[in-house]
Structure 1
Amino acid sequence: MIHEKGRIVAIEPEGIWVETIQRSTCDSCSAEKGCGQSLMAKLSGHTSYLWVLLQGRDAAQYQLGDEVEIGVPESVVVNGSLFAYLVPLLAMMFAAGMAHQQFAQEGITIFSAFIGLVVGALVVRWRSHHIRFDSRLQPVLIDDHKPLRIQP
């Protein structure tokens, strides 16, 4: 499970919106001082907003500004990354290969590769849109001491 601390920015009956500040892996890198990536991460202060299900907890127990720890299963991150990167790449290579076999012209092959990349990206977008509310893929609250609400 990948852990991250965040601050509650909105509260809804089914879940909370948590603001997290993206940290790079620079803290553990030996080249931290000689690399511009660490500086850019600090300057941009890029934040993310995540929807976190309450999973039986009462929304009234939370206040805006509360700090919470959330977690995302590692398998979700790995599978999502593989899908997001491999589908467009494989679609591009398939389209380029098919165009090369059919037409054997460089311009058509390049154009087909671009179309395959776009189609692959659209497939990733469509799939992510359809699974965005899947509770197995959502961040969860971790190390929270607020009591669970038992529903009859």
Structure 2
Amino acid sequence: MITETGRIVAIDKQCLWVETIQRSTCESCSAEKGCGQSLVAKWGGKTSFIRVLLEGRDPSVYQLHDEITVGIPEAVVANGSLLVYLTPLVAMMAAVFFAEFAGLPEVGVIGLAALGLLLGGGAVRWHSYRYRNDRRVQPVLMDDVEPVQWSPEASRKEG
């Protein structure tokens, strides 16, 4: 589990918006001196906003500017990176192969390559929108509170 400490910047009914400054990974990376990301993080501190689902927790417990720890499973980071980087490239290469197979001139190949890249990016965007509330790919709060699990069977037993 990759953990990061952040500050709450917004509170919704179902989630928290957390601002993180990504420095923890740069301190442990062996390529720190030759990496542009490390330079930018040291210079200005790259902030990003993470949406963390409350999973049944009471939002009134949290206050703006509280510091919390969030965790993201390594598999989610690895699979997400593959999806974000490879999908547009594979779509672009498929478009190039199709254009070459169809015998299009170079301008047509370049145009279809750009179109394939855009369609691949659109596919990534659609996938992220579709799975935005899937708790298997969401950051989790690292606290002592267990998430509330709702199931239709449990509600029938209580009623």
Query: Normalization by structure 2: what TM-score?
Result: 0.80
Letter in 2 for 1:91: A
Q: Is the 8 A contact 1:24 1:41 kept in 2?
A: no
The residue number in structure 1 matching 2:74 is 74
RMSD: 2.6
Q: Give percent identity, aligned residues only.
A: 55
- Larger deviation: 24-33 or 133-142? 24-33
Q: Is the 8 A contact 2:40 2:46 kept in 1?
A: no
SS of 1:132 mapped into structure 2: coil
Please report how far the alpha carbon of residue 88 of structure 1 lies from its aligned counterpart in structure 2 after TM superposition: 0.9
The residue number in structure 1 matching 2:117 is 117
The Cα offsets for residues 1-51 of structure 1, whole Å up to 9 and x where unpaired, read as 111111112222322211111227432345645665433222232211112
Matches of 1:38 and 1:120 in 2, distance apart?
A: 28
Matches of 1:31 and 1:127 in 2, distance apart?
A: 31
Structure 2 unaligned blocks of 5 or more: 151-157
Question: For residues 147 and 114 of structure 1, do their structure 2 counterparts lie closer, same or farther at Cα, with a shift above 3 Å needed?
Answer: closer
Question: For residues 35 and 85 of structure 1, do their structure 2 counterparts lie closer, same or farther at Cα, with a shift above 3 Å needed?
Answer: closer
Query: Normalization by structure 1: what TM-score?
Result: 0.83
The residue number in structure 1 matching 2:12 is 12
Please report how far the alpha carbon of residue 89 of structure 1 lies from its aligned counterpart in structure 2 after TM superposition: 0.7
Letter in 1 for 2:46: H
Please report how far the alpha carbon of residue 106 of structure 1 lies from its aligned counterpart in structure 2 after TM superposition: 2.3
Question: For residues 148 and 72 of structure 1, do their structure 2 counterparts lie closer, same or farther at Cα, with a shift above 3 Å needed?
Answer: closer
- Larger deviation: 68-77 or 48-57? 48-57
Please report how far the alpha carbon of residue 119 of structure 1 lies from its aligned counterpart in structure 2 after TM superposition: 1.2
SS of 1:103 mapped into structure 2: coil
- Aligned counterparts, 1:1-150, within 5 A: 1-23=1-23, 25-30=25-30, 32-33=32-33, 37-103=37-103, 105-142=105-142, 144-145=143-144
Letter in 1 for 2:78: V
The Cα offsets for residues 46-73 of structure 1, whole Å up to 9 and x where unpaired, read as 2111121222322222222211110111
The Cα offsets for residues 52-107 of structure 1, whole Å up to 9 and x where unpaired, read as 12223222222222111101111111111111111111111111111111115322
Q: Is the 8 A contact 1:61 1:146 kept in 2?
A: no
Matches of 1:149 and 1:35 in 2, distance apart?
A: 41
Matches of 2:115 and 2:146 in 1, distance apart?
A: 52
Q: Is the 8 A contact 2:53 2:138 kept in 1?
A: yes
Matches of 2:149 and 2:111 in 1, distance apart?
A: 58
Matches of 1:105 and 1:62 in 2, distance apart?
A: 60
